[in-house]
Amino acid sequence: MVSEAENLADIPFGPEDTPWQKTFSSLRVVGGRPYGTPPSSDPRTAYLGVPEVPHHKVQLPPSGLDAEQYTEAESLFRRHIDTQTRNFAGYQVTSALDYEQRLGHYLNRHLNNVGDPYQSNSYTLNSKVLERAVLDYFASLWHAKWPHDPEDPESYWGYVLTMGASEGNLYGLWNARDYLSGKPLRTQHREPGRDGAEQAPQGEGPNAFHPVAFFSEDTHYSLTKAVRALDIDTFHDLGSTRYPDDNPLAPGAPWPRKVPSTADGAIDIEQLGLLVRFFASRGYPVLVSLNYGSTFKGAYDDVEAVARTVRGICAEYGLDHRRVHQDRDANGNHDERSGFWLHVDGALGAGYTPYLEMARDAGMVEQAPPVFDFRLSDLHSLTMSGHKWMGTPWACGVFMTRTGLQMAPPGASEYIGAADTTFAGSRNGFSSLLMWDHLARNSYDDQARVAAECDGLAAYTHQQLLLLQQQLGQDLWVARSPQALTVRFRQPHPDIVRRYSLACETVQVDGAARTYVHLYAMRHLTRQRVDELIGELRQPGAFAPAPPTGATDGGARAARPAVPVADAMAG
Ligand SMILES: *Cc1c(COP(=O)(O)O)cnc(C)c1O
């Protein structure tokens, strides 16, 4: 009898289907027993497969792969990624990159921007000198006061993210939470002329340091994660526990989880105002996170109008400007700060719309979305993803705020020789190099031209899809929000979804669930590729026939063609 453990140790593993326990080199079987745990089931069936890259070809036996095995595995993966790169159309990420020639050298260099970007000491293998240049570039582009000056509360402070805008959102909300709940700032600032007779009111009342967060239903999932990780109450959390019967949007109805949006995907400012007033009137400080380029519909919240609304309401309840005393300071010293915080999640939009604005001012396009940046004195923090508009081989981004709003870093950091003001410990120093390279080689003029081209391609795609909808005589739900780089439409056959990496999302429209996909007109997308996609969408079976009213989704699924569209078209 063979025990089950031995059977499992015989599971075929690696490119040659070797029994797992025979994949060890002699050193590893000293004493007759392989090092490590055997698989508890066959990993090849445990995971989702990628047909183009068979799992056994890339499995990693303890002996590693020999040169031939490595070459075969790597070329399978390369072919797959190159094909998918060619057709990639569904996400707001630029896939046409050309860093290899110039920057390949640095793949053999360690670059770690640990700690504050403006301080460096013992850890010299960093690219902070480039990071500061990148940050100054964006500070100017976003109309902040620059360069960063630790003595000047109005100057910007920021850093290059190791994750994308998700990290920027997390950091922005963390900063907001500590600021609104009265934690110490990095430096105490008092606004000149504010002392004496016309002193700001003191933050007081049971809720004065209990921030409440507001964001719309079109908000990226990273915000939901951030409020959970940071234990920040949303208006839904507080409303449904403390004021269950008082939903100001619909008296008696349950509180919505998020602020309603318009059909275009922008936050509904009137409803936001009602919700903010409910909490501001009860003394809660207000944290609003806005989208500048929402993930699915590409919608731009009107940041300026929201800022005006929120400031106006907060002013009525003494939350626009208040004194915060520091317990740690026996002299009764205080700083002065607002009782609200506006964060803008500009993952795509903040990297792109400044150039579209330039294109508009140069007469290359007709319109650009509303202002979102530090021209608005009530903007507190802003984030952008580097891999989206700019394009980088991995996630990165920028976080920016004003120096006077920075919270005190949590602890001492003598070990790294720089203040621990960032979210990560070790930070990706290669990302600053990539962004620096991109910005050095693409002038404002270049970027404005590309922005206008992408805007034009989104408009073209929208037109072509509307035409197709007309020709097919079927409602494909084609829509484009104003100035969005994305166009959304009814989800087509899964083969098309996969070939073009189209992102799917189910949206409630008039009480019915609709599954949409969208594509993004990023700079690597061409008219030719759009035409190819439209050609595939025109084929019979590309869309499930519209279900008769009342039919379930199961009915729609059953109506899909038995032959994959690709094969049907090839034949
Ligand atoms: C993509 C995106 C994010 C998250 O960015 P990552 O770079 O994936 O972390 C956040 N917000 C919006 C609106 C996005 O589109």
Going from the C-alpha of 249 to that of each of 213, 274, 320, 542, the distances in angstroms are: 16, 7, 24, 41
* DSSP codes joined into one string, 302-317: -HHHHHHHHHHHHHHT
What's the CATH number for 445-570?
3.90.1150
Above 90 in pLDDT, residue 23? no
Residue of 166, 173, 297 to mutate, ligand 1, most atoms within 8 A of C-beta: 166
- Asked if omega into 147 is within 30° of 0 (cis), the reply is yes
Query: Residue 426, exposed/middle/buried by CB under 10 A (0-12, 13-18, 19+)?
Result: middle
- Secondary structure element (H or E) that encloses residue 156, with its range: strand 156-161
Q: What percent of the chain has pLDDT over 70?
A: 89
Which residue puts its alpha carbon closest to atom 15 of ligand 1? Answer: 295
1-15, 337-351, 378-392: least confidently modelled range: 1-15
Which residue puts its alpha carbon closest to atom 7 of ligand 1? Answer: 164
Above 90 in pLDDT, residue 486? yes
**What is the average per-residue pLDDT within 3-10?**
72
Q: How far apart are CA 280 and CA 218, in angstroms?
A: 23
Ligand 1 atom nearest the C-alpha of 295 is 15
From start to end of 210-265, where are the E strands? 212-214, 233-234
Q: What is the pLDDT of residue 568?
A: 35
Architecture per CATH, 128-188+201-441: 3-Layer(aba) Sandwich (3.40)
Q: Do 128-188+201-441 and 445-570 come out as alike in CATH topology?
A: no
Q: What is the pLDDT of residue 210?
A: 97
Task: Fill in the DSSP letter of residue 558.
Answer: H
Q: How far apart are CA 519 and CA 525, in angstroms?
A: 10
The pTM is what? 0.91
For residue 348, give the nearest of 168, 504, 508 by alpha carbon.
Answer: 168
Q: What is the pLDDT of residue 226?
A: 97
Ligand 1 atom nearest the C-alpha of 167 is 9
Ligand 1 atom nearest the C-alpha of 168 is 9
Above 90 in pLDDT, residue 511? no
What's the mean per-residue pLDDT of the chain? 90
Q: How far apart are CA 304 and CA 371, in angstroms?
A: 7
* Confidence band, pLDDT 50/70/90 cuts, at residue 555: very low
Domain ranges of the chain: 4-87, 128-188+201-441, 445-570
Q: CA 273, 276, 278: angle at the middle one, nearest 5? A: 110
Task: Fill in the DSSP letter of residue 30.
Answer: G
Q: What is the pLDDT of residue 564?
A: 37
Q: What percent of the chain has pLDDT over 90?
A: 75
Per DSSP, what are the bridge partners of residue 335?
Answer: 324
Between the CA of 36 and the centroid of ligand 1 the distance, in Å, is 38
**What is the average per-residue pLDDT within 322-346?**
83
Residue of 91, 94, 163, 220 to mutate, ligand 1, most atoms within 8 A of C-beta: 220
Between the CA of 81 and the centroid of ligand 1 the distance, in Å, is 22
- Secondary structure element (H or E) that encloses residue 535, with its range: helix 527-538
Between the CA of 166 and the centroid of ligand 1 the distance, in Å, is 6
Between the CA of 220 and the centroid of ligand 1 the distance, in Å, is 6
Q: How far apart are CA 477 and CA 433, in angstroms?
A: 42
Q: How far apart are CA 296 and CA 91, in angstroms?
A: 9
Q: Higher-confidence residue: 260 or 558?
A: 260
Q: Give the tens place of pLDDT for each residue, 262-273.
A: 999 999 999 999
Q: Give the tens place of pLDDT for each residue, 417-474.
A: 778 899 988 999 999 999 999 999 999 999 999 999 999 999 999 999 999 999 999 9
Between the CA of 561 and the centroid of ligand 1 the distance, in Å, is 35
Q: Give the tens place of pLDDT for each residue, 27-62.
A: 655 566 777 888 999 999 999 999 999 999 999 998
Between the CA of 165 and the centroid of ligand 1 the distance, in Å, is 5
Q: How far apart are CA 53 and CA 29, in angstroms?
A: 30
Between the CA of 92 and the centroid of ligand 1 the distance, in Å, is 9
Q: What is the pLDDT of residue 96?
A: 86
Ligand 1 atom nearest the C-alpha of 292 is 13
Q: CA 490, 494, 498: angle at the middle one, nearest 5? A: 105
Going from the C-alpha of 566 to that of each of 90, 91, 92, 442, 474, the distances in angstroms are: 18, 22, 25, 38, 21
Which residue puts its alpha carbon closest to atom 6 of ligand 1? Answer: 164
Ligand 1 atom nearest the C-alpha of 346 is 13
Ligand 1 atom nearest the C-alpha of 163 is 9
**What is the average per-residue pLDDT within 122-130?**
92
Q: What is the pLDDT of residue 558?
A: 35
Which residue puts its alpha carbon closest to atom 5 of ligand 1? Answer: 165
Ligand 1 atom nearest the C-alpha of 348 is 15
Going from the C-alpha of 149 to that of each of 144, 195, 212, 272, 332, the distances in angstroms are: 12, 24, 31, 35, 27
* Confidence band, pLDDT 50/70/90 cuts, at residue 569: very low
Between the CA of 280 and the centroid of ligand 1 the distance, in Å, is 29
**What is the average per-residue pLDDT within 500-527?**
92
Q: What is the pLDDT of residue 199?
A: 65
Residue of 167, 294, 295 to mutate, ligand 1, most atoms within 8 A of C-beta: 295
Above 60 in pLDDT, residue 329? no
Going from the C-alpha of 504 to that of each of 91, 123, 202, 468, the distances in angstroms are: 10, 44, 48, 20
Above 80 in pLDDT, residue 251? yes
Three-state DSSP at 450 gives helix
Between the CA of 61 and the centroid of ligand 1 the distance, in Å, is 36
Give me the sign of the Cα torsion angle 116, 117, 120, 124. positive
| Residue 149, phi-psi category: left (phi > 0), alpha (psi -120 to 50), beta (remainder) | beta
Between the CA of 493 and the centroid of ligand 1 the distance, in Å, is 26
Three-state DSSP at 342 gives strand
Above 50 in pLDDT, residue 553? no
* Confidence band, pLDDT 50/70/90 cuts, at residue 330: low
Ligand 1 atom nearest the C-alpha of 169 is 10
Between the CA of 295 and the centroid of ligand 1 the distance, in Å, is 7
Above 50 in pLDDT, residue 405? yes
Between the CA of 383 and the centroid of ligand 1 the distance, in Å, is 9
Residue of 93, 300, 345, 435 to mutate, ligand 1, most atoms within 8 A of C-beta: 345
Q: What is the pLDDT of residue 420?
A: 87
Pocket of ligand 1 (CB under 6 A): 92, 163-166, 220, 222, 291, 293-295, 345, 347-348, 385, 395, 397
Q: Give the tens place of pLDDT for each residue, 266-314.
A: 999 999 999 999 999 999 999 999 999 999 999 999 999 999 999 999 9
**What is the average per-residue pLDDT within 101-107?**
96
From start to end of 338-418, where are the E strands? 340-345, 381-385, 397-402
80-89, 140-149, 384-393, 516-525: least confidently modelled range: 80-89
**What is the average per-residue pLDDT within 140-151?**
97
Return the C-alpha torsion angle 415, 417, 421, 423, nearest 10.
Answer: -50
Question: CB within 8 A of 141, min separation 6: which ones?
Answer: 354, 373
Q: Give the tens place of pLDDT for each residue, 162-200.
A: 999 999 999 999 999 999 999 988 886 655 444 444 567
Q: What is the pLDDT of residue 136?
A: 98
Q: Give the tens place of pLDDT for each residue, 66-85.
A: 999 999 999 999 999 999 89
Between the CA of 479 and the centroid of ligand 1 the distance, in Å, is 21
146-155, 194-203, 515-524: least confidently modelled range: 194-203
Ligand 1 atom nearest the C-alpha of 385 is 7
Q: What is the pLDDT of residue 335?
A: 85
Between the CA of 67 and the centroid of ligand 1 the distance, in Å, is 39
Ligand 1 atom nearest the C-alpha of 395 is 7
